[in-house]
Amino acid sequence: MILTLEFWSTLLSIIFIDLILAGDNAIVIGMSARKLPKEQQKQAILWGTVGAVAIRICATVLVVYILKVPWLLAIGGLLLLWIAYRLLSQEEEHSDIKAGNTIWASVRTIIIADAAMGLDNVIAVAGAAHGNILLVALGLIISIPIVVWGSTLFIKLLNKLPWIVYVGSGVLAYTAAKMITHEPSIEHLFDDSEAIRWAFIAVAVIIVIAAGLWNNMMKKKVEAGREHGASL
């Protein structure tokens, strides 16, 4: 039902997932259109985004149905746990994204790059939606305009408030854990006690965030060691 708390909380989760994973999309869009004249950049961004969104919707709907195959929900949940950890710990390079010299070259680059990089978003949204195509569509319709026109602002917000990334990773881990507990093949293990279900979800979220924090602290120590060695 549309008027239930679960519907709206899930929709908010999907929108947040779209936004927290939108940084790469914003970089792709910006780098793909950077060589075009300013008046053509908006057109390239618009049509590139339209094409990327169309592919994203089709892929997400497809994944929603694929996740109904036995054990794939659990496998998707485990993959999403890794994605949640990677969001905190891995810096991705985008230097290999080539800017187009024409509008349609840029549009093509945006669509291809978004399709290649959008797996994490597709799995996360499909898992959070739990088979509800309406939630998938509403989440994308609401979040895509924000991604296109507000992505730069959102990236600046992430830079000023780094803890938002940890919140986003926690939301992804929560979604992943729920996917695993709803896997039909093992769902009976959690049906007897809601406490066990929520304990599993809480442990999954804590482990992912703690692992990300620990990895980032180790990186800082290594970087500090390099800087100290370079100064000697």
Q: Identify which of 122, 137, 147 has the alpha carbon closest to the alpha carbon of residue 48.
A: 147
User: Could you tell me the residue range of the domain that residue 226 belongs to?
Assistant: 5-231
Crossing angle of helices 133-160 and 163-181, rounded to 10°: 150
User: What is the tens place of the pLDDT at every residue in 79-114?
Assistant: 888 878 887 775 544 445 555 667 777 777 767 766
- Say if CB 177 and CB 77 are below 8 A apart: yes
DSSP state of 4: S
- Say if CB 173 and CB 208 are below 8 A apart: yes
User: What is the tens place of the pLDDT at every residue in 107-162?
Assistant: 777 677 666 556 667 777 777 777 777 887 777 777 666 666 655 565 566 667 77
User: What is the tens place of the pLDDT at every residue in 57-87?
Assistant: 788 778 777 777 788 778 888 888 887 888 7
Chain centroid to CA 25: 10
Q: 139 vs 18, 40, 135, CA distance in Å?
A: 8, 28, 6
In the chain, how many domains are there? 1
pTM score over 0.75: no
